[in-house]
Amino acid sequence: MASLNSSSSIKIHEHCHVSPPPTSPHSSIPLTAFDFFWLRFHPVERIFYYTFPSPDTDSSFFFHKLVPTLKTSLSHTLQHFLPLAGNIVWPSDSEIPIVQYNPGDDGVSLVIAESELDLKHVLDNSPNDAAVSHSFVPHLESSDSLASVISLQVTLFPNSGFSIGISTHHAVLDGKSSTMFIKAWASLCQQDQEPTCLVPELVPFFDREALKDQPTLDSLLESSSKLFTDDNNNARNLKILPFPPKLENSVRASFNLTRADLEKIKKRVLSKWDMVVIDEEESNNNSTLYPKPSTLSTFILTCSYVSVCTAKAIQGVESNKNKFAFAFTVDCRNRLLEPPIPTNYFGNCVWGHFIDTKPNNYTEEDGEVIVAKNIYNKIKMISDKGVLEGAKNVSSRFKSALREGVELMSIAGSTRFGVYGIDFGLGKPNKVEITSVDRSLTFGISDSRDEKGGVEVGLVLNKDVMKLFDTLFHEGLCID
């Protein structure tokens, strides 16, 4: 285990606000039912780490060349993403909050910092103090009446490289939208001339009329509004609720599943598919059981394997924790919604689904098969009946799980985002992590940096739990 000192100092060189060009107009868009669910949810924090192409690169390059280029390209990127430069507000005459950008007043908070830590150790995938990463992500402001949309921090590791940390308000951006913005910024950062043009797939679509005639959304908005009210039952409060990171005695680590690993898990699961029976009568919602598939997706294999390893590790260390559940979000863009939503729709266009397992399934001998079957059945149900089928029950199931002491596991990120292809002109990232997974029992997943078709998984666990997880994870990949 690499040793990093979480108390190592960060030196702040500058804290500024970057605005779109002065000619940018006022912008205002309403939140939708998809957005409203996340209104008081914790920020999503992600860090991109880059090494300098030459070990001789000194700090003057960072401060005099790189930072000015990042600032200029950020400003030009924001002219395409005006809501990100604004704030969430809730006008007294509006039934829903809006995202509003006011020219001349608003902009994105940008911190320029320097760390004394050794970047090589920071990039190490082995377990490290979970608190270390929080030095490289900025705070996202929120109050009762106003909430920032994004904040950024660029941190120098002298003579080694730098990181770009981003905190985003989940009520304005889902993972795909956040990645689209970062890709657009990186694209404009590489342009030699004054950057103005984006390739079509990076041009955001903000028109909320695309959701106007979608069935079920009104009922989703009603159920979402009740999820995170404050102590005074004030649903209009915009202050992000406290979701403190779980840092005490915790470590952060990354694990890789190669294509060969995934193939091995797939063969093992499919070989037992018909022998492992799901009790349909006792499973939640009596979901339909589908016939055995010929193959399984990377998503199903990753989620089933990692969730079972995690549950067994937690129960192995804390025997009183024996109830688990797993939920994941589904991208609704162009997926059985009528009319279809454009793939470059910017905002939240995801909805959550619980898989229909029993709380003790995860720690059973054939847990990975049971969980894989349930995830597969849920995805097939979504394909057959629509992405919003049963969605209005998510809030009640979430609250019920909390009351019953169930350890809820979930996923952040996607292998489809292509985060390891995001190049600001100095090469692809050496590491990308979703820092905010430490606020709940969440796994950050992404494409692999080194192998097409592989998966990188990041998570934060108690030190002893992580040690057992590491053992279970690697032992399971040795079983044929």
* Among 118, 124, 423, 464, the one annotated catalytic: 423
Catalytic (active site) residue 423: yes
- Residue 274, Ramachandran bin (φ over 0: left; ψ between -120 and 50: alpha; else beta): alpha
In this prediction, residue 283 carries a pLDDT of: 46
Question: CA-CA distance, 427 to 419, in Å (whole number)?
Answer: 12
In this prediction, residue 281 carries a pLDDT of: 46
> At 317, which helix (H) or strand (E)?
helix 298-317
Q: Are 274 and 292 in contact (CB under 8 A)?
A: yes
In this prediction, residue 213 carries a pLDDT of: 61
- Beta-carbon neighbour count of residue 312 at 10 Å? 21
- What's the CATH number for 250-476? 3.30.559.10
Cα dist from 113 to 68, 163, 344, 381, 430, whole Å: 14, 10, 33, 48, 19
CATH 2.60.40.1930 fits 10-225, yes or no: no
Contacts of residues 139-146 at CB distance under 8 Å and 24 or more positions apart, as own/partner, are 139/167, 140/43, 140/167, 140/168, 140/169, 140/240, 141/109, 142/169, 142/238, 142/239, 142/240, 143/238, 143/239, 144/237, 144/238, 144/239, 145/89, 145/90, 145/238, 146/87, 146/88, 146/89, 146/238
In this prediction, residue 231 carries a pLDDT of: 53
Strands 146-148 and 250-257: unpaired
In this prediction, residue 284 carries a pLDDT of: 46
Q: Interior CA angle at 331 toward 329 and 334, to 5°?
A: 155
Q: Are 166 and 46 in contact (CB under 8 A)?
A: yes
Domain with CATH 3.30.559.10 in the chain: 10-225, 250-476
Reference 141, options 188, 215, 75, 86; nearest CA is 86
pLDDT tens string for the chain (480 positions)? 444 544 457 999 999 999 999 999 999 999 988 898 899 999 999 999 999 988 888 899 999 999 999 999 999 999 999 999 999 999 999 888 999 999 999 999 999 999 999 999 999 999 999 999 999 999 999 999 999 999 999 999 999 999 999 999 999 999 999 999 999 999 999 986 666 789 999 999 999 888 876 656 666 666 665 555 555 556 688 999 988 999 999 999 999 999 999 999 999 999 999 998 876 544 444 456 789 999 999 999 999 999 999 999 999 999 889 999 999 999 988 775 677 889 999 999 998 889 989 999 999 999 999 999 999 999 999 888 888 777 667 777 877 888 888 999 999 999 999 999 999 999 999 999 999 999 999 999 999 998 999 999 999 999 999 999 999 999 999 987
In this prediction, residue 2 carries a pLDDT of: 41
Query: pTM to 2 decimals?
Result: 0.94
Q: Are 250 and 463 in contact (CB under 8 A)?
A: yes
In this prediction, residue 398 carries a pLDDT of: 79
Catalytic (active site) residue 230: no
Q: Provide the sign of the torsion angle of the four alpha carbons 124, 129, 130, 131, taken in this order.
A: negative
> At 101, which helix (H) or strand (E)?
strand 98-101
Q: 167 has which bridge partners?
A: 45, 151
Dmax over Cα atoms in the chain, in whole Å?
66
Cα dist from 315 to 205, 321, 368, 439, 469, whole Å: 45, 5, 15, 20, 11
In this prediction, residue 3 carries a pLDDT of: 43
In this prediction, residue 351 carries a pLDDT of: 86
* Among 170, 174, 261, 447, the one annotated catalytic: 170
